[in-house]
């Protein structure tokens, strides 16, 4: 776990002691509704853009844009890559495509789509990518086009002061993008020709680059989504989240 994720976990644990009013954009569904799943999908679609705007009552920060001090990339071994002073653009445009709330199995799964996520920041890179040596530091731009994000989790029903709530367990998160573009300025101590060649190479081998980068970006998005899920589930008692 990166330090950022640990920090979020501590933050979330701290928040779970507090309770808040339920904002009006969080609408809920009735289990006796024959279109329960459709109702959940619509509620989710209404809620996501509002949640992304941030909400002090739920202690949620603004996601568009989102500043992240550091993303340390855990690569497969021969590469060291750190991103600092990162700004994530595009999280405000998450579209909920599918949702399933399984009351029997106690699982919730969300399939989301994002047209364009940009990761902008400073990078330091050193090592090898595929077979080529790479080194440098400067500005980085990672742009993911048509990302499919899956976020699903099992939950327990817990009691807090005699009231039942849903507690999300460890989520399963996937991120697949149709195409990712990379731009690293100032590679090889600013050697223009080598830098251009390497950027060309990275974009031709974007699938390999994504294999290195995606797990850390997925972890970052997962931590943000988990913060939202936990804070929302914290304020809505189970009997209100799923009405009779």
Closest distance to ligand NAG from the beta carbon of 154 (Å): 37
Contacts to ligand NAG from residues 76-115, by CB under 6 A: none
Tell me how far, at minimum, the Cβ of 182 lies from ligand NAG, in Å.
9
Alpha helix (H) residue ranges in the chain: 3-15, 36-52, 192-204, 206-235, 238-241
Helix (H) or strand (E) holding 121: strand 107-129
Q: Which is nearer to ligand NAG, 123 or 153 (CB)?
A: 123
Instruction: Look at residue 228 and give its three-state secondary structure.
Output: helix
Minimum CB distance to ligand NAG, residue 225 (Å) = 23
Give the CB-side neighbour count of residue 96, counting CA atoms within 13 A.
Answer: 23
Rg over alpha carbons for the chain, rounded to the nearest Å, is 20
Can you tell me the distance from the alpha carbon of 208 to that of 58, in angstroms, rounded to the nearest whole number? 39
Interaction of residue 118 with ligand NAG, rule CB under 6 A: yes
Q: Which of 106, 107, 137, 141 binds ligand NAG (CB under 6 A)?
A: 141
The token pair that represents 33 in the structure block: 């509704």
Q: Is 181 in the site for ligand NAG (CB under 6 A)?
A: yes
Instruction: Tell me how far, at minimum, the Cβ of 180 lies from ligand NAG, in Å.
Output: 10
Q: Which of 106, 107, 143, 146 binds ligand NAG (CB under 6 A)?
A: 143
Token output for 105:
């199995």
The residue number whose beta carbon is nearest to ligand NAG equals 141
Query: Minimum distance from CB of 214 to ligand NAG (Å)?
Result: 17
* Cis omega (within 30 of 0) for bond into 65: yes
Nearer to ligand NAG, 45 or 139 (CB): 139
**Residue 137 in the binding site for ligand NAG (CB under 6 A):** no
Looking up tokens 């779970």 gives 16
Q: Within 10 A of 217 (CB to CB), how many other CB atoms are there?
A: 23
Q: Which residues bind ligand NAG (CB under 6 A)?
A: 118, 120, 141, 143, 181, 183
């Amino acid at each position: 776990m990166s330090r950022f994720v640990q920090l979020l976990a501590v933050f979330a644990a701290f928040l779970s002691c507090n309770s808040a009013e339920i904002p009006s954009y969080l609408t809920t569904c009735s289990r006796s509704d024959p279109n329960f799943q459709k109702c959940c999908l619509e509620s989710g679609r209404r809620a996501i853009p509002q949640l992304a705007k941030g909400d002090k009552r739920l202690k949620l920060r603004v996601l568009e844009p989102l500043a992240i001090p550091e993303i340390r990339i855990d690569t497969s071994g021969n590469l060291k890559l750190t991103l600092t002073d990162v700004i994530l653009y595009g999280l405000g445009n998450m579209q909920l495509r599918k949702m399933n709330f399984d009351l029997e199995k106690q699982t919730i799964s969300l399939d989301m789509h994002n047209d364009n996520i940009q990761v902008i920041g400073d990078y330091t890179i050193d090592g090898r990518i595929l077979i080529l040596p790479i080194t440098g530091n400067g500005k980085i731009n990672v742009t993911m086009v048509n990302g499919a994000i899956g976020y699903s989790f099992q939950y327990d029903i817990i009691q807090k002061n005699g009231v039942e709530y849903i507690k999300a367990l460890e989520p399963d998160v996937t991120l697949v993008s149709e195409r990712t573009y990379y731009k690293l300025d100032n590679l090889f101590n600013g050697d223009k020709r080598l830098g251009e060649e390497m950027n060309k190479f990275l974009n031709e081998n974007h699938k390999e680059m994504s294999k290195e980068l995606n797990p850390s970006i997925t972890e970052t998005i997962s931590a943000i989504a988990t913060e939202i899920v936990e804070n929302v589930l914290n304020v809505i008692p189970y009997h209100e989240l799923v009405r009779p």
